[in-house]
Amino acid sequence: MFDSRVSGILLHPTSLPSPFGIGDLGTGAYDFVDFLANSDQQIWQILPLGPTGFGNSPYLCYSALAGNPLLISPEKLFEDELLTTEDLASLPEYLDYKVDYDLVIATKIPLLKKASDRFHTQATAKQLDAFHDFCNHHDDWLDDYALFMALKEHHQGKSWNQWDKDIAFRKPEALVNWAAKLQDAILFHKFMQYEFFRQWQNLKEYANEKGIKIFGDIPIYVAHDSADVWANPDIFCLDAKTGAAALMAGVPPDYFSATGQLWGNPVYNWKELEKTDFQWWIRRVEAILEYVDIIRIDHFRGFESYWAVPEGETTAMKGKWIKAPGDAFFTLLKKDLGELPIVAEDLGIITPEVEALRDKFEFPGMKILHFAFDSDRANPFLPFNYVNRNCIVYTGTHDNNTTLGWFYERSPEDQAKVTDYLGCLCPEGIHWGLIRLAMGSVANAAIFPLQDILGYGGDTKMNTPSTVEGNWEWRYRGDVLSEGLSGHFKYLTYLYGRKPV
């Protein structure tokens, strides 16, 4: 997958600087790409791009294929004359270091509605053709998604299985009637997807021209309250009467949680998927490749065996492992789409069977340095134990603390385990010590959360697993990406053989 040693930064677009309360696809995104290019980086890793629901988690989206409308740049809409100076004149003063999602939604969605109305009354024939081409190209998911979102708004945000029964269970007559009744709202949601896709493609093209690949993320599961589950109930394990998740996804007790993680997503009905030659999943991968250059499959082990928790449980402790047909799926995926740039998120409880599935298809795995210092010398996350180069090393991921936060929450004895390994406390700071350690490893790719490049503490971490409040909110100020920081990062990239050829 990687022809040479590479490195990059992990940063979700919501964390970008922007005058509109949340990172978006405007100037801040292009400035970040410039920082990557000026620092000789070749990878921009992001989290899932979908429209988020309760808790604002990009791993619980209303659609596996749609984009998050909150990432649409009003600045770009203004440049395209879809918003006016007057439209942007009375916006509130947003925080520049975190996202206030409620405030952003309350002010940004009305702006997008104005842009949509203006587009449909003022667009040229060429622009309307482009919009209709987009809708036709994506009609296999866009029609269901737009109707789903319109229905959800009509039902005051209730989950789909709490709607009127006929539409909840997709009776044909109800679908026709509701589509006619909500046609204006449906058109608005289609416009937002068109505009998101257009802005994202322009940004991706800009990054690719500068030698930067977009490294995206596919969560293995989709949210129960999503267009995917509502439109495709047969491929999920649902209660036939209520539509609730009959078997819920999660993981047993692990590093992150003593009671495991109960995600609440319905697990797949793999037997039904297999009957269709995994059509839904193959289309999902095909569609995500329109957004990104490389795919990380989150919770890869679920393709070999998955943890299934019965309906009604409040923790993940009483689940069981069930075999999944990952070998058959990836064989068909390769047959249909060819060799794919897939990375396996192989953290947590990994068995020889999971490793065999990963290695059969030559998918790179992940190594996390924060996990390397709490056992013996056989710890697989210590760099001298990396058995091959086909992996990606991180200081930490979006589910970890920042390196500074992680280090200073350790006891003095546990801090010494890290500094003894490094040989000293790096004068640049422990974050640069671990960055150097990753850069110098044999791993083909080394990727770092931007918080570690900036040397930020635990108050800037992106997510604390198994919690709902205070996640996905961190943003950085545009002025922190200085030339000096770029130059230092560029030098280390050269020093450890990761500079682009």
Partners of residue 249 on adjacent β-strands: 308
Among the listed ranges 10-24, 47-61, 236-250, 419-433, which one has the minimum average pLDDT value? 419-433
Q: H or E element: which one contains 435?
A: helix 430-439
Both tokens of residue 418?
């890290």
- Collapsing DSSP to helix, strand or coil, 459 comes out as helix
Burial class (CB in 10 A: 0-12, 13-18, 19+), 240: exposed
What gap in Å lies between CA 485 and CA 478, rounded to an integer?
A: 13
Both tokens of residue 480?
């922190």
Select from 404, 295, 313 the least CA-distant residue to 43. 295
- Whether 203 shows a pLDDT value over 90: the answer reads yes
- Collapsing DSSP to helix, strand or coil, 61 comes out as strand
Both tokens of residue 285?
């991968």
- pLDDT tens-digit map of 278-293: 999 999 999 999 999 9
- pLDDT tens-digit map of 377-401: 999 999 999 998 999 999 999 999 9
- Give the active site residue among 298, 304, 346, 452: 298
pLDDT of residue 419: 94
pLDDT of residue 448: 98
- Give the active site residue among 345, 346, 452, 473: 345
What gap in Å lies between CA 151 and CA 164, rounded to an integer?
A: 10
Is 283:140 a contact under the CB 8 Å cutoff? Answer: yes
- pLDDT tens-digit map of 131-171: 999 999 999 999 999 999 999 999 999 999 999 999 999 99
Give 444's DSSP letter: S
Both tokens of residue 10?
């992990």
pLDDT of residue 211: 97
Residue by residue, DSSP assigns 389-431 as: S-EEEES--TTSPPHHHHHHTS-HHHHHHHHHHHSS--TT-HH
Active-site annotation holds for 277: no
Q: What are phi and psi of 44, to 5 degrees?
A: -115, 110
Average pLDDT on 43-58 reads: 96
- pLDDT tens-digit map of 97-129: 999 999 999 999 999 999 999 999 999 999 999
- Whether 193 shows a pLDDT value over 80: the answer reads yes
Is 237:247 a contact under the CB 8 Å cutoff? Answer: yes
pLDDT of residue 467: 85
Higher-scoring residue by pLDDT: 4, 309:
309
* Backbone region of residue 251 per phi and psi (left: phi > 0; alpha: psi in -120 to 50; beta: other values): beta
pLDDT of residue 332: 97
Active-site annotation holds for 345: yes
- Give the active site residue among 228, 346, 399, 473: 399
Beta strands in 199-258 (DSSP E): 213-219, 247-251
Across the chain, mean pLDDT equals 96
Average pLDDT on 369-375 reads: 96
For the chain, percent of residues with pLDDT exceeding 90: 92
AA identity, residue 39: S
pLDDT of residue 424: 72
Is 149:189 a contact under the CB 8 Å cutoff? Answer: yes
Is 119:127 a contact under the CB 8 Å cutoff? Answer: yes
Is 498:472 a contact under the CB 8 Å cutoff? Answer: no
- Whether 253 shows a pLDDT value over 90: the answer reads no
- Whether 495 shows a pLDDT value over 70: the answer reads yes
- pLDDT tens-digit map of 355-367: 999 999 999 999 9
Label residue 256 by pLDDT band (50, 70, 90).
Answer: low
**pTM listed for this prediction:** 0.96
Average pLDDT on 445-470 reads: 94
Label residue 46 by pLDDT band (50, 70, 90).
Answer: very high
pLDDT of residue 207: 98
Both tokens of residue 142?
């866009």
Alpha helices for 239-346 (secondary structure H):
270-275, 279-288, 326-337
Active-site annotation holds for 133: no
pLDDT of residue 440: 97
Give 245's DSSP letter: B
